[in-house]
Amino acid sequence: MTGVTGQDGGHLAELLHSKGYEVFGLIRGQRNARREALEREFPFVRLIEADLTDQTSLIHAVATSQPHEIYNLGAISHVGYSFRNPQLTADITAKGVLNLLEAVRVSGLSDSTRFYQASTSEMFGGLDYNRPGAGYNENSLFHPRSPYGVAKLYAHWIARNYRESYGMFVSTGILFNHEGERRGLEFVTRKITNAVAAIHLGLQDHLALGDLWPKRDWGYAGDYVRGMWQMLQHHEPDDFVLATGETHSIEEFLTLAFAAIGETDWKPYVRQDPQFRRPAEVDILLGDPSKAERVLGWERTVDFPGLVSLMVQHDIQVLSRHA
Ligand code: NAP
Ligand code: G4F
């Protein structure tokens, strides 16, 4: 897998290990603290040095691992960061996928390797004209609103193109936001739960955020990586939406997160800071996961209140150790 140091990479490494897989994870950069942390947490993952922008390293990684399944999770995945670094985002999040698909093809493994591409609900864009009432599904219109969304749309179509052109087993998962205890602190849910835990422990007195009205379809990452695995076990490659079918605003997330520490009003603790606003916003995301439920038997174990509570409790535990 690529992206083994990320949120989904951690959940997926655990899942594949529990199923008896030999797991190889691509890691970039020089030996550092992150690599050591990864080696401590997942001693069973065999690390290969490679970067999605470096074709030779990917060919080497494919030759070393001879993969039956590839999960391409590596990307610049933060939407705000992609506005500040659009070219880097194109190189990694878009062209990186092409580099990896080509590495498989030139290695002669097109017929034996199954490939999962991490597509995203950001490709839909959440604008009035393309917003279906029952939620976006696999046939909905795309209108990406960020350099990240545009790069992912290229990645999505090049993945589908390799399926159609070369008959490769390439499946795409169009995943709506998924969160949890491994979520990066730069994403809004974890930023909130980490701050709520810090406020509860007296380590912080407020939290600065951007716009609070956007709505997201938030699920639990552990459930979503199981869906990725199910896509590659299916008898044919396809495209699948994973979502909860519910959408909530950031204000609703704040209400539940502060309620978890006994605070009924979050407003005194939250300041708005324009630096966290984006040049173009995705107003509302709502997904329709009925195809994945019907065809793959995919199901979720964590609901929205359960997700918020799990994250706040986790962050209180982590911060208590350092308080
Ligand atoms: P994440 O925590 O941000 O992890 C991203 C991973 O990509 C990290 O392991 C990072 O490695 C790696 N990466 C970045 N640049 C790379 C490069 N040049 N070469 C190789 N690897 C590189 O993301 P996530 O939340 O786990 O998401 C996994 C994938 O699903 C991403 O592609 C994301 O865009 C997509 N997705 C996520 C969601 C969601 O809600 N989480 C929804 C839809 C789609 P470093 O540690 O070295 O930076
Ligand atoms: O947590 P976010 O940064 O996630 P976003 O932009 O929805 O993207 C995530 O989900 C996508 C799937 O739809 C993935 F493809 C992508 O890789 C990533 O995992 O922001 C959520 C909302 C946005 O409307 C943002 O403007 O929260 C708003 N927000 C308000 N204040 C903030 C903040 N977002 C962040 N990160 N930080 C803030 O302070």
pLDDT tens readout for residues 109-144: 999 999 999 999 999 999 999 999 999 999 999 999
Q: Is the pLDDT confidence value at 149 over 90?
A: yes
Q: pLDDT at position 33, please? A: 84
Residue given tokens 């190889």 in the structure block: 24
- Tell me, in angstroms, the distance from the centre of ligand 2 to residue 252's CA: 15
Instruction: Characterise 77 by phi-psi region: left (phi > 0), alpha (psi -120 to 50), beta (else).
Output: alpha
The residue type found at 42 is F
As given in the structure block, the two tokens for residue 25 are: 């994870």
Asked about 81 being catalytic, the answer comes back as no
Judging by DSSP bridges, how do beta strands 215-216 and 248-249 pair with one another?
Answer: antiparallel
Residue-wise DSSP of 101-147: HHHHHHTT-TTT-EEEEEEEGGGT---GGG--TT-B-TTSPP---SH
Cβ-based neighbours of 48, under 8 Å, separated by 6 or more: 24, 25, 26, 27, 60, 61, 64, 65
Asked about 122 being catalytic, the answer comes back as yes
Q: Is the pLDDT confidence value at 322 over 90?
A: no
Ligand 1, atom 1: nearest CA belongs to which residue?
A: 6
Query: For residue 188, which ligand has an atom nearest its CA?
Result: 2
Q: pLDDT at position 32, please? A: 76
Q: What is the pLDDT of residues 56-91, one digit of tens each?
A: 999 999 999 999 999 999 999 999 999 999 999 999
Query: For residue 191, which ligand has an atom nearest its CA?
Result: 2
Q: Kindly report the number of other CB atoms within 10 A of residue 56's CB atom.
A: 11
Instruction: Characterise 221 by phi-psi region: left (phi > 0), alpha (psi -120 to 50), beta (else).
Output: alpha
Asked about 120 being catalytic, the answer comes back as yes
Query: For residue 79, which ligand has an atom nearest its CA?
Result: 2
Residue-wise DSSP of 139-179: TSPP---SHHHHHHHHHHHHHHHHHHHH--EEEEEEEPPEE
Give the alpha-carbon dihedral of 163, 297, 313, 44, to 10 degrees: -60
Helix (H) and strand (E) counts in the chain: 12, 12
Q: Is the pLDDT confidence value at 230 over 90?
A: yes
Average pLDDT over residues 92-110: 98
Which of 5, 14, 93, 122 is catalytic? The answer is 122
- Tell me, in angstroms, the distance from the centre of ligand 1 to residue 54's CA: 16
pLDDT band at 34 (very low <50, low <70, confident <90, very high): confident
- Tell me, in angstroms, the distance from the centre of ligand 2 to residue 210's CA: 10
Query: For residue 3, which ligand has an atom nearest its CA?
Result: 1
- Tell me, in angstroms, the distance from the centre of ligand 2 to residue 78's CA: 7
Query: Cβ-count burial of 170 within 10 angstroms (0-12 exposed, 13-18 middle, 19+ buried)?
Result: buried
Position in ligand 2 atom list of the atom nearest CA 189: 1
Q: Kindly report the number of other CB atoms within 10 A of residue 320's CB atom.
A: 12
pLDDT band at 29 (very low <50, low <70, confident <90, very high): confident
Q: What is the pLDDT of residues 161-215, one digit of tens each?
A: 999 999 999 999 999 999 999 999 999 999 999 999 999 999 999 999 999 999 9
Q: Is the pLDDT confidence value at 299 over 80?
A: yes
pLDDT band at 30 (very low <50, low <70, confident <90, very high): confident
Residue given tokens 């950031």 in the structure block: 250
- Tell me, in angstroms, the distance from the centre of ligand 2 to residue 187's CA: 6
Q: What is the pLDDT of residues 279-294, one digit of tens each?
A: 999 999 999 999 999 9
- Which protein residues touch ligand 2 with a CB less than 6 Å away? 77, 79-80, 120-122, 176-177, 186-188, 191, 209-211, 214, 216, 250, 276, 278, 281, 285
Q: pLDDT at position 233, please? A: 98
**Residue 296 in contact with residue 234, Cβ under 8 Å?**
yes
pTM score of the predicted model = 0.98
Best residue among 120, 177, 228, 252 to mutate for probing ligand 2's pocket (most ligand atoms within 8 Å of CB) is 177
Which of 136, 148, 162, 220 is catalytic? The answer is 148
